[in-house]
Chain A
């Protein structure tokens, strides 16, 4: 009691010098200085911008987005003509970016996981070759790979008339691009899609039921095969019942060019392949380090419990390795998405090419266009890292 009163008597009155010398108050001084400097800098920049805009007779507005864009985009997922407004060009660009990023992430993951696992192979030749692949791709700029792929496609592939028709007429590489089969949706395909979704839900419920049964009785069902049957069989059955509502249209040579089917431009193919191969090298390293980080004791413990090797991998090693692999994997996805902006170097019309490229040059609205482009990438990044944080929290080791 006396001690407490001793301290309370000791409280110093506040002096101005404490703002510098006292650790408790110094942080306030520094923060106020920081805020002041920051405000000054922002004010200076903003006043410069205002002054410059006034000198050039410009004003800050997004009204240009509703003016006609008057340029064509040769690869688009939605209806767009040169009379469409600029915002629609931006949407076309956004969709192109997202398609490229999505397909790139899938290809890079498949390749990266395969290469990362092969890098750990006991086979000397295989692991050496994978090391060469990884080091080769990681140490050369991705822009160089993209340009190389794009020039190689347009210079090495034949003109449409001489082009080889591969895979039973389904796949034609030419120097303009790749002709691929396209699905034709006829009446009844909607029913098929609904059936497919329903069987997915059914497979999920079956998985839950099987797990509950295993927990209750210890009986293990061949879950994988039964699930596969639940997903595939009803769809196949109704596909024939409904009279094959989904067909394929194959490309056919007519005159100097191919008609029908789908057409994928060289610029997209080059970007997709180069970005996937490049990112796969990084993902492979993440996979390797994730698997190596699981101590050998885990494998040995699983063996001593009598688990066979494939179950050891699936039930013991992978769940632990995934916790290490997934955060860097997602940041690689993020990198791939951001690297897809290099599309501008080969003329693929992504968001940087439409809004940040042609629209910017045509309207002279640098500030507004770049703000929108950066805003788009920022939103995508924050969304992805938000998802990553949720995942990290859900798999984090619960310490007791």
Chain B
């Protein structure tokens, strides 16, 4: 009975494969995508239509103005208006050199350009780990090289500083072997200060008069445009990270209340006041704090203030990273018998910095954007140079074009930084997160 029945029921089963039917048209392809992402409900449809109308209306006005009707080459705004009705980007092209270099001597433009290109070579080994490690030596030398290229002058100053750093490393190892590394660090810093205050000027002066080798000197007042943005921004970025780490470690050092108090005081003071007041301090007040008769480059003063400002924010970011590390990491480092600096360098900081990458890069971006504030104390960065260009007779009446160009350059650099930090974060993610 079961045999016949099973044979009969098998008649319902097909013996050959049926061809696959295509999926229903409203579940795949562009139609389905639009149904799910644009017109999923009545509210969604209304929103989509409203925003689409808005976007189309804006683009309809903007594209002709910015691209098809825009004038890219002309010698004055009247000339622009005669040629076409759109934006007058001719102001950017005709004042391009000023926007980029300020009043830097045109025949020396190769120097900032070379420094800019070498900057990428110097940063490359920090950003990609598949490059030869020897390149790090170039990274170490780059700040001096860039200083020499940008400002020029005799080559002896930078060379002597290089020699000083080498000697300081030697002093450090000399002191830290028999005693300990904290004292070694103090000794090395003391050595550098002593050398710089008492010997540096006389030695480099003597060498420069004996063998005048170097590049033509360019004074800081001639710097301007994006050159100044990069000088302040990059110096601030490079200097604020180590300073911020030191401040964060100082703030975490519970067994040294005095150090902790000083660090907290510094951080909270700097974070509590706007950068612009610090820049006013740099431009009007700093001379009071220095021995009478000291003159001190405004750009250098501003760089110091911007760096201190960013360092305080950096310290808070790094402190967050340090606080996020489980206690076990500190205890494990102690159990291995590492001393404070070894534990910090090998165990604590690599993990804490990895956690705080987004915050660190945000601080970098903030610092880079904040460099435009120097225009308020009279430095001719791109924003500072905008007003003089607008008030010339050729370009009087220009409104949107210069801010659009400057904003675009800032956007490109800041956006690249933030995207790179996301990539970096993913690359370093070792997946220990819960």
Cβ–Cβ contact B274 & A339, under 8 A: yes
Contacts of A339 in B (CB 8 A): 274
Contacts of A103 in B (CB 8 A): none
B69 contacts the other chain (CB 8 A): no
Cβ–Cβ contact B376 & A373, under 8 A: no
With A125-B38, A352-B276: A139-B403 Cβ-Cβ less than 8 Å: no
B333 contacts the other chain (CB 8 A): no
Pick from A31, A45, A370, A374: contact of B256, CB under 8 Å? A31
Cβ–Cβ contact A147 & B258, under 8 A: no
Contacts of A193 in B (CB 8 A): none
A18 contacts the other chain (CB 8 A): no
Contacts of A294 in B (CB 8 A): none
Cβ–Cβ contact A143 & B373, under 8 A: yes
Cβ–Cβ contact B292 & A352, under 8 A: no
Cβ–Cβ contact A151 & B182, under 8 A: no
Contacts of A212 in B (CB 8 A): none
B280 contacts the other chain (CB 8 A): yes
Contacts of B386 in A (CB 8 A): 147
- Nearest CB on A from B280, distance (A): 6
Cβ–Cβ contact A126 & B399, under 8 A: no
With A125-B51, A139-B411, A360-B284: A34-B276 Cβ-Cβ less than 8 Å: no
Contacts of B375 in A (CB 8 A): 143, 345
A122 contacts the other chain (CB 8 A): yes
B268 contacts the other chain (CB 8 A): yes
For A98-142 the 0/1 string (1 means CB < 8 A from B) is: 000000000000000000000001111110010000011011111
Cβ–Cβ contact A45 & B289, under 8 A: yes
Give the residue among B37, B272, B292 with the most A Cβ atoms within 10 A: B272
Cβ–Cβ contact B44 & A123, under 8 A: yes
Q: How many residues of B contact A (CB 8 A)?
A: 60
Which A-chain residue is minimally distant from B260 (CB atoms)? A31
Cβ–Cβ contact A144 & B407, under 8 A: yes
Q: Which of A47-55, A239-247, A250-258, A309-317 interfaces with chain B?
A: A47-55
Pick from B40, B269, B289, B403: contact of A148, CB under 8 Å? B403
Cβ–Cβ contact B272 & A124, under 8 A: no
A342 contacts the other chain (CB 8 A): yes
A221 contacts the other chain (CB 8 A): no
- Nearest CB on B from A309, distance (A): 13
For A22-34 the 0/1 string (1 means CB < 8 A from B) is: 0000110011011
A14 contacts the other chain (CB 8 A): no
Contacts of B271 in A (CB 8 A): 381
A20 to B397, CA, bound (A): 69
A381 to B262, CA, bound (A): 19
A34 to B258, CA, bound (A): 8
With A123-B44, A125-B52: A147-B292 Cβ-Cβ less than 8 Å: no
Cβ–Cβ contact B47 & A126, under 8 A: yes
B418 contacts the other chain (CB 8 A): yes
A338 contacts the other chain (CB 8 A): yes
- Nearest CB on B from A394, distance (A): 20
Cβ–Cβ contact A34 & B259, under 8 A: yes
B179 contacts the other chain (CB 8 A): yes
Pick from B257, B372, B411: contact of A143, CB under 8 Å? B372
Cβ–Cβ contact A378 & B403, under 8 A: no
Contacts of A391 in B (CB 8 A): none
Contacts of A139 in B (CB 8 A): 365, 369, 410-411, 414-415, 418
Contacts of A26 in B (CB 8 A): 180, 182
Contacts of A49 in B (CB 8 A): 288-289
A324 to B188, CA, bound (A): 44
Contacts of A124 in B (CB 8 A): 37-38
A367 to B291, CA, bound (A): 16
Cβ–Cβ contact A129 & B55, under 8 A: yes
Please report which residues of chain B, range 81-107, place their CB below 8 angstroms from some CB of chain A when the two chains form the complex. Answer: none
Contacts of A378 in B (CB 8 A): 269, 272-273
- Nearest CB on A from B277, distance (A): 5
B287 contacts the other chain (CB 8 A): yes
Question: 9 closest pairs, A vs B, by CB?
Answer: A381-B272, A139-B414, A124-B37, A338-B274, A341-B274, A141-B369, A378-B272, A31-B258, A141-B372
8 contacts between A and B (CB under 8 A): A20-B183, A48-B288, A125-B52, A152-B400, A342-B373, A360-B284, A377-B274, A378-B269
A residues lining the B interface (CB < 8 Å): 20-21, 26-27, 30-31, 33-35, 38, 45, 48-49, 51-53, 55, 121-126, 129, 135-136, 138-144, 147-148, 151-152, 155-156, 338-339, 341-342, 344-345, 352, 356, 360, 366-367, 370, 373-374, 377-378, 381-382
